[in-house]
Amino acid sequence: MEDFLTLLLAGVSVGAVYGLIAIGLNLTFWTTKTMNFGQGSVMMLCAMLTATMVAGGWPQALSILVALAVIAVLMVFTETWTVRPALKIEGSMGWAVSTLGVGIVLQGLASLWFGSQALAFPDIIFTAIDNVVVFGVHVSLQYLAVLVLALALVVVFEALVRGTVWGQAMRAVSMDQDLAAVIGIPVRWIVLGSYIASGLLAGISGILVAQIGGTVDPAFGFELVIFGFVAAVLGGMGSTTGALAGGIAAGVLQQMVGGYISSAAQHGIAFALLILILVVRPQGFFGQREFVKV
């Protein structure tokens, strides 16, 4: 029973991070119908930079802020040089190749700079062995902190999107870019902002996962972004609640399979489930079928 609860908490908390990654992917999908296929490298870079700076003696909070600032600049570059040019041609999928390319280059550069060895990631609030006992079950504080932080970010994100003028403007851009431009919404800035926000969510996710795993290496983000993508598709592309639910479902499944069957089967089963769900419910759990009224 204790094993089960431990796996469940691990699954829910890692899953909440997958949800964050998925929300980041959703964001740019809303504004431009594109997503950064190099997002895994963004997570890796953010975690690696943080780990390197902390190892170099910088304060943790400052290291994280600097790493996030680097990510923001990187996203400006990604949007301006790899996505926008491709979108000038109607129906072009060039952005998929170019964003993936940037991701691969970053991964290569990271191997060059940091070496391909895994770096130890510092304990930020709690260590891996900190825990509290709830009803006789040991609950890892690290997992709990990650879960709380991820959920808090989702709530803040949703409040910003629903409750502020800029959030509404972003939804407007996602529904009809031309109309948004005509009424004076600075579409260009909203798109750029969505890429920056998407990168920051990915960077934070990278730090959270690295915290749980304890190490980062240049290939670190690849698997994460795939789970983030699974979460987004499971939940129904574009839905925030869906992304969170999809992420948690994927995380729990991954942990259960890893814990009870074999950790080698984690991915296979996750994808088998993805295929199954897409066959039964192509729009995902929370996705709406587009209604078109004539």
Partner 1 sequence: MLEVKDLVVSYGAVEAVRGVTLTAVPGAITAIVGANGAGKSSLLRAITGLAPVRAGQVLLDGQDVTRVPASKRAGLGLAHAMEGRRIFRHLSVEENLRLAWQFGRRRNQWGEALDRVFLTFPILKEKRRSQAGLLSGGQQQMLIVSAATICEPSYLLLDEPSLGLAPIVVREIYHFFTDRCRENGTTVLLAEQMAAMALNVSAHGYVLRQGQVVREGPSAELVNSGLIAALSSAYL
Cβ 175 to partner 1 shortest distance, Å: 5
Q: According to CB under 8 A, which one of 69, 105, 188, 271 is a site residue for partner 1?
A: 188
Asked if residue 183 binds partner 1 (CB under 8 A), the reply is: yes
Q: According to CB under 8 A, which one of 56, 91, 184, 279 is a site residue for partner 1?
A: 184
Cα-Cα-Cα-Cα dihedral sign, residues 133, 139, 144, 146: positive
Range list of β-strands (E), 102-236: 119-120, 131-134, 137-140, 215-216
Cβ 75 to partner 1 shortest distance, Å: 21
Residue 2 CA to residue 218 CA, distance in Å, equals 34
Helices and strands, counts by H and E, the chain: 12, 4
Instruction: Name the DSSP letter for residue 83.
Output: I
Stretch that binds partner 1, among 2-10, 124-132, 174-182, 267-275 (CB under 8 A): 174-182
Q: Which residues contact 289 (CB under 8 A, 6 or more apart)?
A: 283
Kindly report the backbone phi and psi dihedral angles of residue 117, in degrees, each rounded to the nearest multiple of 5, phi listed first.
-70, 150
Stretch that binds partner 1, among 17-25, 120-128, 166-174, 265-273 (CB under 8 A): 166-174
Which x/- pattern over 263-292 shows residues binding partner 1 (rule: CB under 8 A)? ----------------------------x-
For partner 1, give the closer residue by CB, 38 or 238: 238
Q: Contact 43/224 with Cβ under 8 angstroms?
A: yes
β pairing state of 131-134 and 137-140: antiparallel
For partner 1, give the closer residue by CB, 111 or 177: 177
Instruction: Name the DSSP letter for residue 262.
Output: -
Q: According to CB under 8 A, which one of 171, 212, 222, 223 is a site residue for partner 1?
A: 171
Cβ 176 to partner 1 shortest distance, Å: 6
Cβ 57 to partner 1 shortest distance, Å: 46
Asked if residue 185 binds partner 1 (CB under 8 A), the reply is: yes
Residue 292 CA to residue 290 CA, distance in Å, equals 6
For the chain, how many residues are written? 294
Query: Which residues contact partner 1 (rule: CB under 8 A)?
Result: 165, 168-169, 171-172, 175-176, 178-188, 291, 293
